[in-house]
Structure 1
Amino acid sequence: MQYALNMAEEALKFAEVPVGAVIVLNQKVIGKAHNKVRINNNPCAHAEILALEEACQTINNERLIKATVYVTLEPCLMCMGALLNARIARLVFGARDFIRGAAGSKWNFATGDKVYGKIQVDEGVLEDKCAHLLTDFFQNVRSK
């Protein structure tokens, strides 16, 4: 999770919302990213999506069975859908997103019985650090 937090801090250099994601398979990092929505002028360039793309390229497979995603903020609907499509086994996230969170805070698509796969979810890992990074970012943006 610390690696994902480091990726989130990297996003700050580009005035991006500080979210970082790291994907691990067999104790090896196969994908990592931070938000690049502004950099890429792409509303889909969330950290999870970009890390998934890198991970799939790394192992040359669209399925990431047995992989774990570490992300600093609870995934949104779009990202949770991508994680389910990739067949991620486990999701570990830091801060909860009570507005857009799709892993239990607003909606729960990770373990709901209407989805074709289930993801083990571990939440609140380094939660204070992840939440403070986001809170500080948005306070700074609003003060300008």
Structure 2
Amino acid sequence: MRRALELAGTAGEDVPVGAVVVAPGGDVGGAAGGAGAAGGTGGAGELGREVGAGVNSREATGDPTAHAEVLAIREAVGKVGDSWRLEDCTLYVTLEPCAMCAGAAVAARVGRIVFGAYEPKTGACGSIWDIPRESPWHWVQVRGGVLEDECSEMLRSFFRPHRR
């Protein structure tokens, strides 16, 4: 999750959301002390290797689908196994995915979504909808609230000057 936060900080004029897809095996970024991909968030399956990363880029690219999660999934596809399936991978994202991003994770058969801040207006991993756990095709494990304070503060800091 710390890697996703780092990426979010590079979003420029876009809403600061970062996402990382982690596959099993290895230690992401050589994190010391076994912190692994999650940056010490705890839980099983933390160790792994980064296979995809994304930063919100809608404003920068003019592409409404350029959400951090979609970009990370696009980068990860083909790096794990021989197809588009990311079944054993974890998607770490600083903000609860929207319906499009949750749907993309289900379509890519991501095994697990771990997010930081809850999104009470458009969240599709439990806040408003629960697409990953209601899908008739592929059920995705979800864990929210990881490094929630840090993720929420980054978003608040971004929006504070925009809302005055």
TM over 0.5, yes or no? Answer: yes
- 2:69 corresponds to 1:48: yes
- CA deviation digits over 1:111-143, x for unaligned, max 9? 12x531111011100000001111111112223
Distance 1:61 1:40 in 2: 27
Give the alignment's Cα RMSD to 1 decimal.
1.1
Task: After superposing the two structures, state which structure 1 stretch, 56-65 or 94-103, moved more.
Answer: 56-65
Deviation at 1:108, TM superposition (A): 0.8
Distance 1:108 1:132 in 2: 24
Task: After superposing the two structures, state which structure 1 stretch, 134-143 or 66-75, moved more.
Answer: 134-143
Residue in structure 2 matched with residue 5 of structure 1 by the alignment: 5
Counterpart of 1:34, as a letter, is: V
- CA deviation digits over 1:20-77, x for unaligned, max 9? 0000001110000110001110111000000001001433521111000000000000
Matched ranges for 1:1-144 at <5 A: 1-11=1-11, 14-26=12-24, 27-59=48-80, 61-112=83-134, 114-143=135-164
Q: Retained in 2: the 8 A contact 1:109–1:115?
A: no
Query: Which secondary structure does the structure 2 equivalent of 1:79 belong to?
Result: helix
Counterpart of 1:19, as a letter, is: V
Q: Retained in 1: the 8 A contact 2:103–2:132?
A: no
Distance 1:119 1:72 in 2: 17
- TM-score, L = length of structure 2: 0.82
In structure 1, the gaps of 5 or more residues are: none
Query: Which secondary structure does the structure 1 equivalent of 2:143 belong to?
Result: strand
Q: How many residues align?
A: 140
- TM-score, L = length of structure 1: 0.93
Counterpart of 1:55, as a letter, is: A
Deviation at 1:107, TM superposition (A): 0.7
Structure 1 segments of 4 or more deviating over 6 A?
A: none
